[in-house]
Each structure stands twice: as structure tokens, then as C-alpha cells.
Amino acid sequence: MSKLSLIVGLGNPGSEYAQTRHNAGFWFVERLADQYGIQLKTDSKYKGISGRGNIEGQDVRLLLPTTFMNLSGQSVVPFAKFYQIQPEEILIAHDELDMNPGVIRLKTGGGHGGHNGLRDIVPHIGANFHRLRIGIGHPGAKEKVSGHVLSRAPSSEQTLMDDAIHHALSKIDLLVNGEIQQAMNQINAYKP
């Protein structure tokens, strides 16, 4: 039973992207940092913003890559290697097109599912990490995906996503202490 040592949020850097759907992973980690008083600072060595703190009795590092989504591996991979963090000790929070806003799922392993951030990480550390998938909904057509993920959600959808993230944060004690199956049962049962 591996406890979590690293929680990564995927997104794009810069204020113009801060409120866009693709940054759902950032939202999760930023709220987590706020909740536990963990200061996030620019970490130029690892092309990201990182912090370290005590979450429910565990020493956990937080990382937000600032490389842009499709280059997330350039931040996550060297960071995990330097701190000798194994894939099973990593949780990566990211937006998920194939789930509606308000749906949130925890899973371990699997492919990148077409997610550009994961696509840049999996080949380097393997797929054996945990993912917190935050539903953002699908625009219906492939050619609309880019505009969809890089735009803001209407407030009704944003509220659903915020509530789902809030629910996942309420299970963080299970997550960081390695009770992954229990966390999965409780997070995945969430109904918006």
C-alpha cells in the first residue's frame, strides 16, 4: 500500500488559461495547497510551481508544471526522478473530456486516453500512477475539442466541477495514506 508522495495538477500556465477547463488539474492542487497552507513557489529547475507540506500526517510534494500541457513530462519526470518518487506514489489530477462536468473519478494505471498531458508523461514513468479525472464534458465534435478545453465553462458547469473537486478534497486523507481502493469507492460514487 503505497502512500502518496507527489500530487501533480495538469494545466497551462498564465492568467489567460487560469479559468479554462484544461486547468481543472491545477484547480484541484491549488485548492489542496490552500486547504493545508502549503506555499506554492516557482521551481525553475523543474519547470513548474511546487510546494511541500504535511497533508493528513503525510509529507507530500505538490507540483504544477508550467511547461504547457503537452510538455508536462518535462516537469513531472525529472521532479519524480530527483526525489525518487515511484509512479505508485504519484497522483495526477487532470481534466477529462469523456466525463460530464460534476463527474469525478479516481483510477490507477491505464493509457493516456488521448490526454496530451498524460501522453507526455506515461512513456517516461510508465502508467502505474493514480489519476484523478475531473469531468469537463465533450463539445460533441473532435474539431471543437481544442476550443472547448481552452475556454471557460459557463457558471452552471463550473459550479458542478467545483463541487466535484470539493468532494475529492474531502477524501484526501484516504488518498495520501494509501487507502486508494477506499478513496476510489468514495470518490467514484459521487453524484453531482
pLDDT in tens, 46-68: 999 999 999 999 999 999 999 99
pLDDT of residue 34: 98
For the segment 27-42, the average pLDDT, to the nearest whole number, is 98
User: Distance from first CA to last CA of the chain, Å, rounded?
Assistant: 30
Q: State the catalytic residue, choosing from 22, 94, 130, 148.
A: 22
Q: How many residues does the chain have?
A: 192
Contact by Cβ (8 Å): 93, 22: no
Q: Is 70 annotated as a binding residue?
A: yes
Cα–Cα distance for residue pair 76/80, rounded to 1 Å? 6
Share of the chain above pLDDT 90, in %: 98
Number of CB atoms found within 10 A of residue 11's CB: 28
Share of the chain above pLDDT 70, in %: 99
Contact by Cβ (8 Å): 139, 191: no
- CA distances (Å), 72 to each of 103, 121, 153, 158, 161, in order? 24, 7, 23, 24, 22
User: Per-residue confidence at 174, pLDDT binned at 50, 70, 90?
Assistant: very high
Q: Kindly tell me if the per-residue pLDDT of 31 is higher than 90.
A: yes
Q: Is 185 annotated as a binding residue?
A: no
Cα–Cα distance for residue pair 128/109, rounded to 1 Å? 4
Contact by Cβ (8 Å): 62, 47: no
> What's 6-189's CATH class?
alpha beta
User: Domain residues of the chain, as ranges?
Assistant: 6-189
Cα–Cα distance for residue pair 127/90, rounded to 1 Å? 11
Residue 93, classed as helix, strand or coil, is: strand
User: Per-residue confidence at 17, pLDDT binned at 50, 70, 90?
Assistant: very high
pTM (whole model) above 0.85: yes
94 assigned to active site: no
pLDDT in tens, 73-129: 999 999 999 999 999 999 999 999 999 999 999 999 999 999 999 999 999 999 999
Q: Kindly tell me if the per-residue pLDDT of 1 is higher than 80.
A: no
pLDDT of residue 2: 81
Q: Is 46 annotated as a binding residue?
A: no
For the segment 173-182, the average pLDDT, to the nearest whole number, is 95
pLDDT of residue 47: 97
Q: Is 188 annotated as a binding residue?
A: no
Contact by Cβ (8 Å): 21, 3: no
For the segment 25-36, the average pLDDT, to the nearest whole number, is 98
Please report which helix (H) or strand (E) contains residue 26, including its range: helix 24-35
